[in-house]
Amino acid sequence: MSFGLLLPGALLALAVLVLPVLLHLVRQSDRKRVEFAALRWLTTRAQPRRRPRIDEWTLLLLRLVLLALVALWLAQPVLHGKPDARPWLLVHPSIAASRAPPASSPQEQRRWLAPGFPSLEQPAPRLTGASISSLLREIDAALPSGAAVQVLVPAQFDATDAERPLLQRALRWTVVSGTSQFASPEAPREARVAMHADLAHRAALPFLRAASVAWASGAAASTKPATLREMLAGEAPRPGDTHLLWLAAAPVPETTARWVKAGGVALLSRDTNVDGINWSETTVAWRGVDGMPLAQRVQDGKGAWIRLLAPFNAPSLPALLEAEFPRAMQDLLGIAPDFATRASAEAYAPSAGLAMHFPQAPRPLGHWIAWFIAMLFGVERWLASSPRRFGR
């Protein structure tokens, strides 16, 4: 453990220590000025003492210490090499906190395996899709090599890399049997897209048909095949349909609205109106290459409404003409193909042996000194403004 300065040049600021000394000297000769009309009856015999004298030693000393500390703070002091050997316990957010084993030692750090590593006493963070492998590497690099790390994972989890993580330490990889991040290992659902366009929106049909052909072809082949079916006028989505493209100026029928609440996803043209939907609380679902929002999405029951923000034709929506359009539609509707990110915990146990050793970042002491400076400044102000000084 050793003490170091990141910016030793800042110690030049110690030169300002001269200032308070000068102030305390100058104040001595600069006497209080008072208006006195009866001056002619004052004699000039009694001169005040002019010997350089420093008064208020405590205040001067306090100010010197204060300035020295500020200079030290500017120099950014750090503490090197304090080994932090506290054991860590990391729990995957899909496991209940109650299933974590009791703390092996009072200093044990009990955290969630999630970005920021929140404490286990907080409620489980939501699964945001943050890469588990990345989190494991981060904690491995941040902790000194002596610290023991135990990780609790479910039998199956998502968001992994395609490779087993290689770490510098051997983790205690505890698989909690009988748990999984997934409710059931289900087969990918087939996306069945129903489509309806009125006369004014007929121009959109060729683009969508072309997109559906692209979905089925090899270029964007997915584990979730998608089929496009054109509905007749007045027809409602069938129970098997997962998505609906409704390009019509007419309002959405009641049956369709119920279908969306039950879990369907409907894409609407710009001029379509839906009763009871607050379009001000939406998220942007699709952005053009220039960053302008092209579609907005609002949740409704189990399903969602997506509304285009531009008319569905090539002049207004140049994205229609781009080669990426089929893929963009897939992303927008949520039928994009999955990559293999799921893993079985047994097979994914990280292996030790990474030869690279990450230097431990020195512990900064700046905030402690800042607090001390603030405290001393308060004391200095209190001393400097106390009525005792002006009573003399």
Partner 1 sequence: MAALPPEVLARLRPLRLHTRRGSAAHGHGSHASVQRGSGLEFAQYRAYEPGDDPRQVDWKLFARSDRYFVREAERESPLVAWVVVDASASMGQTDQAQPHVSRLDIARRVAAGALQLALQGGDRFGVLAFNQQDLHAIPAGNGARHRDRCLLALEAVQPAGRWPDTQRMAASWELLAPRSLVLLLSDCFDDAAVEMAEKLAVAGRDVCIVQVLMADERDFPYRGGYLFVDTEDASSLLGNAEALRDDYLKRFAQARAALRARCTRAGIMLAAQFADDAIDAALQQLFGMQGRGR
388 binds partner 1 (CB under 8 A): no
The encoded tokens of residue 253 equal 């029928």
If one asks whether residue 339 binds partner 1 (CB under 8 A), the answer comes out as no
31 binds partner 1 (CB under 8 A): yes
Half-sphere exposure of 334 (CA within 13 A, CB side): 16
Give the CA distances from residue 279 to residues 86, 264, 295, in Å, rounded to whole numbers and listed in that order.
50, 18, 12
33 interacts with partner 1 by CB under 8 A:
yes
**Of the residues 44, 105, 177, 278, which one makes contact with partner 1 according to CB under 8 A:** 44
Beta carbon nearer to partner 1, 33 or 367: 33
Give the span between the Cα atoms of 72 and 366, in whole angstroms: 9
From 39-47, 210-218, 233-241, 282-290, span contacting partner 1 (CB under 8 A): 39-47
Per DSSP bridges, beta strands 166-167 and 351-352 are parallel
For partner 1, which residue of 1, 2, 9, 39 counts as binding (CB under 8 A)?
39
Cα angle 133, 137, 142; round to 5 = 150
- 40 lines the binding site for partner 1 (CB under 8 A): yes
Q: Which is nearer to partner 1, 39 or 356 (CB)?
A: 39
Our finding on whether 387 is near partner 1 (CB under 8 A) is: no
| Main-chain phi, psi angles of 268, to 5 degrees | -110, 150
The answer to whether residue 38 forms part of the interface with partner 1 (CB under 8 A) is yes
8-27 residues near partner 1, rule: CB under 8 A: none
Segment holding 65, helix H or strand E: helix 57-74
Q: Smallest distance from the beta carbon of 9 to partner 1, in angstroms?
A: 42
Helices (H), 143-273: 205-216, 254-261
By CB under 8 A, tell whether 57 contacts partner 1. no
- Number of residues engaging partner 1 in binding (CB under 8 A): 20
Q: For residue 37, state whether it binds partner 1 (rule: CB under 8 A).
A: yes
Distance CA 225, CA 190 (A): 5
Instruction: Give the residue among 14, 67, 58 at the shortest CA–CA distance from 382.
Output: 58
Instruction: Considering the complex, state which of residue 44 and residue 105 has its C-beta at the smaller distance from partner 1.
Output: 44
Query: Residue 289: exposed, middle, or buried by beta-carbon count in 10 A (0-12, 13-18, 19+)?
Result: exposed
* Least CB distance to partner 1 at residue 30 (A): 8
Q: Residue 390 corresponds to which tokens in the numbers above?
A: 């002006």
For residue 32, state whether it binds partner 1 (rule: CB under 8 A).
yes
> Which residue from 22, 41, 278, 290 is in contact with partner 1, where contact means CB under 8 A?
41
Verify binding: residue 390, partner 1, rule CB under 8 A: no
Chain positions contacting partner 1, by CB under 8 A:
31-49, 392
